Amino acid sequence: MDNVIKIKPKCYFACPLGVDIPEFTSSIARGDFSDAIATIREQNPFPGIIGRICPAYCEDACIREQTDEPVAIRQLERFCADYELQHFGFPQWKLTKDTPKNKSIAVIGSGPAGLTCSYYLLKKGYDVDIYEKSYRPGGTLSIIIPRFELPQEILFGEIQILTKLGGNFIPNCTVGKDIQLTELNRKYDALFIAIGAGKSDELHIPGKNLDGVFTTFDFLENFSRNNLDIKIGGSTKALVFGGNNESVASARILRRLGAEVHLFLPDEMQYFDETKIQMARQENIIVKQSIIPTAVFGEKNRVFSVRCLKVERSSENGKTKIVPIENSDFDEDCDIAIFSVRRYPDIDSLGESIKNFNISRSNTFIVDENMQTNIYGVFAGGEAVNGMSNPFLSVVDGKRAASAIDKFLAGNITVRDEQKETPKEFEEIVIERNNIAEVPRNRTKILAPDQRDSNFREVEISFDEKIAIAEAERCIFDRFHTEK
């Protein structure tokens, strides 16, 4: 293996938001946390939120991945946000805005895409009204991410930045019912539709209408709005079927409410984040793999059991598929049964005028390369276009949409907008592999399982200042760049 390697900070190019990672980790290594958070905020409006939910694409590209383990970039980002909150509080943000443009935009939906788009439009000097059907902002951020992963004070605290920038939040207003899209289109210079994917697909299982049966999204939504019409306690037995983060979140919430929880994963490969499954096991959730539901049984209109079937993988003509194991069915009794199904945008809720839009077969908005729908001046993004997806990707969409709307209103929208309009140039550094010492990655502390019982305290604990500096010092690019 060649001992000499040439390096550039690939992390920067891998971050979909364009956060200047070498710059902010270098500030942390110097102990200048205020400088670090200022650098992060240039490209990432919600570091406390994103520092908790981002899949950390940057870490997959980290040079250290080749020697030991990537730098914990996402945790460092989160550390900066938490440090700022602890030491200065949210109101201390230094906010700058471009001169007023005297143009107004209606953003429909205040989930990750709507919030991010609003932030960047406000920064560019536009007037922004944000229409939200719920009484509070946040969308999927407040529904599918449980508060033990994203505390409410962080979520709603960071969102306050929009009101400080002059954003006008209009809660309890359903576009299509309380106000029509056509009216908004007349009133505003541009619209951004970011309604998310808040409608659960039909459950295709007998017994689906019994009381105590929920889809994961409906359960999470009702729970997050204190709207659950079922009492859950120590004698409740809950079954959760599904292999994604939303089913794991539902199981972990039910456990915290006191229920005995069984989580059935349909197939070993389906869940997105293995660490969440590990945490579920630590919390005494019984996790069983390769089991699917086939029917729900009830009495007096209430669920009392679910018929389950074991499945296995089978290969045929080079293709792998999941097949049932003969005579493997069994009934599992329960008080509540939750099933994971696909979510899609509730397009019909937008009323009559929706028939004028080009809508895909998966019930999502069809947009062009600039995120504009077929209706002039009406843009769409996030799950309204992509369908059910990771909330971080909706943040990225919101940022792109703001840039596209800005260009549209300036009259020069022509080519595909790039979020990193002028990527930073980095000098390539030549180093000897032997000079890279292995330094173990620092881990965040995790709340002990017995401390998670019956409460919603955040499970992962932020780095302290000393650990954050030590972790930032692991950055190879910064070290050799500074030594040059």
Q: What are the tokens at 275?
A: 């660490």
Match 């200047």 to its residue by tokens: 20
- Contact between residue 343 and residue 198 where contact means Cβ atoms under 8 Å apart: yes
Q: How far apart are CA 358 and CA 6, in angstroms?
A: 48
Minimum CB distance to ligand SF4, residue 396 (Å)? 9
Q: How far apart are CA 484 and CA 480, in angstroms?
A: 6
Minimum CB distance to ligand SF4, residue 207 (Å)? 42
**Residue 182 main-chain phi, psi, to 5 deg:** -60, -40
Query: Does residue number 468 form part of the binding site for ligand SF4 (CB under 6 A)?
Result: no
Q: What are the tokens at 51?
A: 């520092």
> For ligand SF4, which stretch binds (CB under 6 A), given 16-24, 91-99, 292-300, 443-451?
16-24
Which of residues 48 and 109 has its CB atom nearest to ligand SF4 in the complex? Answer: 48
- Contact between residue 163 and residue 93 where contact means Cβ atoms under 8 Å apart: no
Minimum CB distance to ligand SF4, residue 51 (Å)? 7
**CA end-to-end span of the chain, whole Å?**
24
CA 292 to chain centre: 26
Within 148-298, residue ranges assigned H as helices are: 152-164, 181-187, 216-224, 245-256, 274-282
Q: What are the tokens at 53?
A: 């939910």
> For ligand SF4, which stretch binds (CB under 6 A), given 12-20, 234-242, 262-270, 422-430?
12-20
Greatest pairwise CA separation for the chain in angstroms:
76
Among 21, 121, 232, 367, binds ligand SF4 (CB under 6 A): 21
Minimum CB distance to ligand SF4, residue 39 (Å)? 11
Which of residues 57 and 426 has its CB atom nearest to ligand SF4 in the complex? Answer: 57
Which of residues 54 and 253 has its CB atom nearest to ligand SF4 in the complex? Answer: 54
Query: Does residue number 57 form part of the binding site for ligand SF4 (CB under 6 A)?
Result: yes
State how far the alpha carbon of 249 is from the alpha carbons of 345, 418, 459, in Å. 21, 33, 13
Burial class (CB in 10 A: 0-12, 13-18, 19+), 337: buried
Helix (H, G, I), strand (E, B) or coil at 311: strand
State how far the alpha carbon of 449 is from the alpha carbons of 2, 188, 462, in Å. 46, 51, 17
Minimum CB distance to ligand SF4, residue 73 (Å)? 5
> For ligand SF4, which stretch binds (CB under 6 A), given 11-19, 262-270, 300-308, 366-374?
11-19
b/e per residue 4-15 (b: at least 16 CB within 10 A):
ebebebbbbbbb
Among 49, 58, 308, 338, binds ligand SF4 (CB under 6 A): 58
Among 25, 27, 39, 44, binds ligand SF4 (CB under 6 A): 44
Match 């599992």 to its residue by tokens: 332
Query: Does residue number 54 form part of the binding site for ligand SF4 (CB under 6 A)?
Result: yes
Which of residues 58 and 144 has its CB atom nearest to ligand SF4 in the complex? Answer: 58
Which of residues 155 and 181 has its CB atom nearest to ligand SF4 in the complex? Answer: 155
Which of residues 24 and 241 has its CB atom nearest to ligand SF4 in the complex? Answer: 24
Show the site string, 74-113: x = touches ligand SF4 by CB under 6 A, - = not. x--x------------------------------------
Query: Does residue number 145 form part of the binding site for ligand SF4 (CB under 6 A)?
Result: no
Minimum CB distance to ligand SF4, residue 149 (Å)? 15
Which of residues 22 and 243 has its CB atom nearest to ligand SF4 in the complex? Answer: 22
- Show the beta-strand stretches assigned E in 290-440: 291-299, 302-316, 319-324, 330-333, 336-339, 343-344, 378-380, 429-432
**Residue 14 main-chain phi, psi, to 5 deg:** -85, -20
> For ligand SF4, which stretch binds (CB under 6 A), given 17-25, 179-187, 332-340, 380-388?
17-25
> For ligand SF4, which stretch binds (CB under 6 A), given 71-79, 146-154, 259-267, 281-289?
71-79
> For ligand SF4, which stretch binds (CB under 6 A), given 15-23, 151-159, 430-438, 464-472?
15-23
**Which DSSP helix (H) or strand (E) runs through 404?**
helix 391-409
Among 29, 49, 56, 130, binds ligand SF4 (CB under 6 A): 56
Query: Does residue number 13 form part of the binding site for ligand SF4 (CB under 6 A)?
Result: no
Minimum CB distance to ligand SF4, residue 278 (Å)? 21
Minimum CB distance to ligand SF4, residue 337 (Å)? 35
- CA neighbours within 13 Å on the CB side: how many for 47? 30
Which of residues 74 and 124 has its CB atom nearest to ligand SF4 in the complex? Answer: 74
Minimum CB distance to ligand SF4, residue 56 (Å)? 4
Q: What one-character DSSP code corresponds to residue 46?
A: -
Spatial neighbors of 158 by CB under 8 A, at least 6 apart, are: 45, 46, 47, 48, 49, 81, 90
Show the site string, 335-364: x = touches ligand SF4 by CB under 6 A, - = not. ------------------------------
Binding site for ligand SF4 (CB under 6 A): 15, 17, 19, 21, 44, 50, 54, 56-58, 73-74, 77
